[in-house]
Every structure is written in C-alpha cells, then in structure tokens.
Amino acid sequence: MPNRVAIVTGAIGALGTAMCKQLTDQDRTVIATHRPGDEPRKKAEQWQKIMAEAGYTVNIMPVDVADYDSCKVFMESVEKEFGPVDVLVNNAGITNDAPLKRMGADQWTQVINVNLNSMFNMCRHAFEGMCNRGFGRIVNISSINGGKGQFGQSNYAAAKAGVYGFTKSIALEGARKGVTVNSISPGYIDSPMVRAVPDKVLESIVADIPVGRLGQPDDIARAVAFLTADDAGFVTGADLVVNGGQFMG
C-alpha cells in the first residue's frame, strides 16, 4: 500500500486517537489537527509524545476547521511539507446542548460551523486535487443522533444529518475520478465525555443498545480503516452505521 498522506481533524480525542493509530498501521503519513492557540498546542504536543511512546509517529498541525481561510492555509501547508493529501477524515465535532426554547443563536451557529461547515471548508481544499490525481478517500463522521434526533440537540442533530446529504452529493462528483466519499455514524462510544454522565443515565444508555455495551473507539477506527483503504474504491456515498444495533434507520 502506498505511503499516502492522511489528515484527521479533531484528532486529539478518544476517537481521533484510535483513527490515527489505524491509519498509521496502514502506513499512512498522518497529520492530526488541533485548535489554534497555546493551550491546544501544548495538549497536542503531549498527546503526540504519548503516541510516540506507543510506537505511533503522528504529525500535529493547527487549524480552525470552522474558518474557510484557515483550512485553505492549512491544506497548502500540509501539501508543501508532506505532499498531496489522499485521505481526509473529518472527525472534528462539538456539542452545545439546550432545548430549542432556551437555545441561543450563538449555540446554534457554533455547532453548525464546527460540525457541518467544517466539512465544506476541509473538503473544498482537498477534493479538487484528489480528483485531478485520480485517487482520494474522504470519510465524514456523523452520529446516531443525525438519524434519530435527540432531545436538547437540535443543533447537533441538524449538523450531523446534514453530513449525509453533503457526503452523498460530493460522492457523485468524485465517483468517476477515483475519489470515494462516505460517512460513519457512531453510536454511544466509551469515551471520557460519555463516562462523565451520571451512572443511572449511562445504565439507561447501555440498556438501549442491543449488543449490551458501549462502542469502543477502535470500533469506529476500524470502519475508517476500511473506508480509506486503497482497495475500497467500490464503496462511495454510503453511511456506515456503527451503533451496536441501537438505531436501525
């Protein structure tokens, strides 16, 4: 398998870490993004050190995925330093929950910008080059809540549902150019954010999952590895549901 350049946004969290490991195991040159600023940089450097100690060489670079021009500069910098981008995993995401009657306009806009507009910002600066070179793998991370909705998450669910239409549309544009575009919809994954909820809430979540457990970050990372493989060229415009059977839409 060629040594291709792969970008993972939102890479410092549990899911992103597992994705970076899987892509490194595929002999990709992995660039993990982090938010601009001193504190995010220090956190990313510490994460990079831990990854190196575990045997994974991962490059880190800052980008504001919600800002179009920041993504443009970032992509140009990656291609100048590492070469053309062949794999893009749009994993960055945030929550800012509230029932609609109490949700502020800033809460709505912030989540839409990071969770949906970022997909456009990153793909817009990678997609054309992939098409011109005749190869590309794009994976956009959606969510179970993009399919079923969730109380207090109208902003998050709307963004994640939007990922589906965006993915399918550009999949059609890239299909004859050797560029596949797919999405993954994780269910509830064992992560610090999920583990932070009260025990009774966590118990009720697990009770609703037919396989009887939370997902693991590696469950999602293996899906990323499958969809980004060189020989996955006949899978495009698909949404790979990885939720333990919790929602079968």
Catalytic residues: 156
Measured distance CA(23)–CA(239) in Å, rounded: 19
Neighbours of 51 (CB within 10 A): 21
Contact 222, 22 (CB under 8 A): yes
First to last CA, the chain: 34
Contact 184, 146 (CB under 8 A): no
Measured distance CA(82)–CA(73) in Å, rounded: 14
Measured distance CA(219)–CA(63) in Å, rounded: 26
Contact 123, 88 (CB under 8 A): yes
Q: What number of CA atoms fall less than 13 Å from residue 76's CA on the CB side?
A: 6
Q: DSSP per residue over 59-95, as a string?
A: EEEE--TT-HHHHHHHHHHHHHHT--EEEEEE-----
